[in-house]
Amino acid sequence: MHTEAVFPDWPGGAEVAVALTFDVDGEAPWLGEGPEYNRRLTTLSQGRFGPSRGLTRILALLAALDIPATFYIPGHTADHHPDAVTAILAGGHEVAHHGYLHLGSDGLDADGQRAELDLGLSALSRHGVRPIGYRSPGWEIVPETLSMLAELGFSYDASMMADDRPYWEASGGQPLLELPGHWSLCDWPYFGWTPYQGGLLADPAVVERIWVEEFESARQERRVVTYTMHPEAVGRGYALRMLERVIAAMLDQGRPWFATHAQIAAMASPPG
Ligand code: ZN
């Protein structure tokens, strides 16, 4: 059993802590599928839409509303779209670790997992970033990863789903804060689509309802809620308009504290 993390009251009398998080995957997940994807220019371009267009829209929205967010960036994206990282940092946002080539932990041995972590750290360090948070590519994590995160000095992970509020994981014998997400609060299952895997291409009104309802539940329970998004999905014009409406509903319905994962993690009382 895990131990639920304890927090003081949210700053400024807020009723709920809302983390808007974006995984800037770019071309990495496709290239990570195999070398044949080097030739699949349309698929790669669909990924590239994230850092090259979707991100610009997202950053403009966040700036207009003065909302900080957390951006999980694979090292490959940082290396190939350095301007994207520069723009994210210039907006005052948090940058966190999301692997290097977005390789799923479950398909890697310990050495491969360590390489993904090290290469990702090196890529982000070229932007002067030493991330304290990690989200595993594709939301799968193996026991070795947890131990490595502790060893590498990470403060939190955002890959698991055992609760809908932050909790402590044992990581290499040390406590690691888990900031859980869920597929229902992720844009990809609704708006992601590929010719190989298909997808829903859902009506944004449906997603809007689910996300605002979850916000209301979190508000009533005065807990944290994390939304996970991808610039190549939520950064499409129609989907970003939905995010705008979701944020407006949050501001209308209550007093949210929009915070980065690092800001939320910093408020957790150490387990004891
Ligand atoms: Zn990802």
Mean pLDDT of the chain: 96
Between the CA of 102 and the centroid of ligand 1 the distance, in Å, is 6
Measured in Å, residue 193 CA sits from the centre of ligand 1 at: 14
Distance in angstroms (rounded) separating the CA atoms of residues 178 and 150: 12
pLDDT tens-digit readout, 106-123: 899 999 999 999 999 999
Q: What is the pLDDT of residues 159-173, one digit of tens each?
A: 999 999 999 998 777
Task: Report the separation in Å between the CA atom of 160 and the middle of ligand 1, taken as the mean of its atom positions.
Answer: 14
Please report, rounded to a whole number, the percentage of residues in the chain having pLDDT higher than 70.
100
Whole-number Å distance, alpha carbon 21 to ligand 1 midpoint, is 11
Between the CA of 44 and the centroid of ligand 1 the distance, in Å, is 14
Q: What is the pLDDT of residue 272?
A: 78
Say how many Å lie between the CA of residue 230 and the centre of ligand 1.
Answer: 8
Strand 3-4 vs strand 167-171: parallel, antiparallel, or unpaired? antiparallel
Cα–ligand 1 centroid distance for 115 (angstroms): 17
Least confident of 16-25, 28-37, 86-95, 236-245: 28-37
Would the pTM of this model clear 0.95, i.e. be above it?
A: yes
Sign of CA dihedral 268, 270, 271, 272: negative
d(Cα 240, Cα 20) in Å, to the nearest integer?
13
Token readout for 98 is 């999301």
pLDDT in tens, 206-258: 999 999 999 999 999 999 999 999 999 999 999 999 999 999 999 999 999 99
Given pLDDT bands bounded at 50, 70 and 90, which one contains residue 1? low
**Residues 127-151: pLDDT tens digits?**
999 999 999 999 999 989 989 998 9
CA 124 to chain centre: 16
From the CA of 117, how far away is ligand 1's center (Å)?
14
Contact by Cβ (8 Å): 50, 235: yes
Q: Where does the pLDDT of residue 2 fall: very low under 50, low under 70, confident under 90, or very high at 90 and above? A: confident
